[in-house]
């Protein structure tokens, strides 16, 4: 049995969570996965009523009692500066020490890429983004805000432990999956802290002689992702650069409506979330693309020890895309519910 904490989120987060749970429940029935879902109302409405995003003791409950957390998109304009989303999402990432942000970028159909002549499967890489350090730790602040003398400082934190464990995770995954290369993206020619990244990368790479280890400055890496995306298999990078590069990767393969992610630590409770936002302008219209959430659920199934089921779900999404059974952002006409129904049909059909 696997116990899953479900946080529907805000806006369209909840709208894509419901069909995702329908699909997971269908897979549970057909394959006997033993999935148990508990829903937690940690969205903006609750925050506005209570002023609490993540209740005291909740991290320990998730760590002790749950096998995974499935999180919908968060964000609500009524909450100043997205305080509740930051408290919940960063609270979970940092509190559960989920140091791996794993983002796959795979092209499912040639028509989805803005790049000319890139065929299905030709773009297929993953990004290992460091998830608990960098400037996202919140070290810094400002003085004399709102004046002409304002000074703002943000500190980028990199520790040997943090850098080494994300780099080792990238190499280990590449080896396990039969990949040929791992690329480090940094700015060690301009940011002194990134020299730590480069040294550790070279040290870890020495233990994987069968893998090609390439180092690229992140600006060059971004350029080459557009010019030659097919040359990348595994990218490892910092928290900030990973945040940027993964959205670039999403653009190359069809947009955020297809972008899944996992936040991982082998010794903690993993968190799974689609990358898109809560899209308040689309709420209640049935237009939002649920496929990123479906693919995110697939990552969760794989992490829970069901790789065959995860592949089955991804293949059903692929077949729906090939059949043009998609929402408007991908050139189709289906509603959110219509896409769910199409994917369910493909799950039931012979492979």
Whether 108 is catalytic is no
**DSSP code of residue 5:** E
* Residue of 219, 267, 281, 329 with catalytic role: 219
DSSP string, 81-95: GGHHHHHHHHHHHHH
CA distance 252 to 318: 16
Q: Exposed/middle/buried for 38, CB within 10 Å: 0-12, 13-18, 19+?
A: exposed
Helix (H, G, I), strand (E, B) or coil at 209: coil
Is 99 tagged catalytic? no
- Catalytic residue check, 187: yes
Q: Are 303 and 37 in contact (CB under 8 A)?
A: no
113 in Cβ contact with 272 (< 8 Å): no
Query: Which tokens belong to 92?
Result: 């979970």
Q: Catalytic one among 247, 267, 281, 329?
A: 247
State the catalytic residue, choosing from 10, 76, 99, 187: 187
Q: State yes or no: is 28 an active-site residue.
A: no
Taking the C-alpha atoms of residue 236 and residue 198, their distance in angstroms, rounded to an integer, is 11
- Please confirm, yes or no, whether 219 is among the known catalytic residues: yes
- DSSP codes of every residue in 234-296: EEEE-HHHHHHHHHHHHHHHT-GGG-EEEEE-TTS--EEEESS---GGGTTTT----HHHHHH
- CA torsion 330-335-341-342 (nearest 10°) is -30
β partners of residue 185: 216, 237
- Going by the DSSP 8-state scheme, the letter that residue 189 receives in this structure is T
Q: Which of 10, 28, 186, 243 is catalytic?
A: 243
In the set 28, 99, 136, 186, the catalytic residue is 136
Q: Using CA of residue 291, residue 296, residue 299, residue 303, what is the dihedral sign?
A: negative
Tokens of 62: 């998730």
In 3D space, the residue among 94, 33, 100, 42 whose CA is nearest the CA of residue 67 turns out to be 33
Residues marked active site are found at 136, 187, 219, 243, 247
């Amino acid at each position: 049995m696997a116990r899953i904490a479900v946080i529907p989120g805000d806006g369209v987060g909840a709208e894509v969570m419901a069909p995702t749970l329908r699909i997971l429940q269908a897979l549970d029935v057909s394959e006997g996965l033993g999935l148990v879902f508990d829903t937690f109302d940690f969205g903006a409405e609750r925050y506005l009523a209570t002023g609490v995003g993540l209740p005291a003791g909740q991290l320990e409950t998730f760590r002790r009692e749950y096998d995974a957390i499935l999180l919908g998109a968060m964000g609500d304009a009524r909450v100043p500066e997205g305080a509740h989303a930051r408290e919940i999402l960063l609270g979970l990432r940092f509190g559960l020490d989920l140091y791996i942000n794993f983002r796959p970028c795979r092209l499912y159909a040639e028509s989805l890429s803005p790049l000319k002549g890139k065929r299905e499967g030709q773009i297929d890489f993953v990004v290992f983004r460091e998830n608990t350090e960098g400037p996202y730790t919140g070290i810094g602040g400002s003085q004399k805000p709102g004046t002409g003398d304002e000074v703002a400082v943000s500190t980028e934190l990199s520790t040997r432990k943090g850098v080494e464990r994300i780099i080792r995770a990238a190499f280990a995954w590449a080896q396990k999956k039969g990949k040929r290369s791992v690329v480090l993206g940094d700015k060690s020619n301009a940011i002194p802290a990134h020299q730590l990244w480069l040294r550790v990368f070279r040290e870890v790479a020495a233990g994987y002689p069968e893998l090609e280890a390439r180092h690229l400055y992140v600006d060059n890496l971004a350029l080459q992702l557009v010019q030659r995306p097919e040359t990348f298999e595994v990218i490892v990078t910092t928290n900030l650069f990973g945040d940027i590069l993964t959205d670039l990767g999403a653009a190359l393969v069809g947009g955020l409506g297809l972008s899944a992610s996992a936040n991982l630590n082998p010794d903690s409770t993993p968190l799974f979330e689609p990358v898109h936002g809560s899209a308040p302008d689309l709420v209640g219209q049935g237009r939002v693309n649920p496929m990123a959430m479906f693919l995110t659920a697939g990552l969760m199934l794989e992490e829970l020890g069901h790789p065959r089921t995860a592949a089955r779900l991804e293949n059903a999404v692929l077949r729906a895309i090939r059949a043009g059974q998609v929402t408007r952002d991908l050139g189709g006409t289906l509603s959110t519910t219509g896409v769910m129904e199409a994917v369910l049909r493909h799950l039931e059909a012979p492979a």
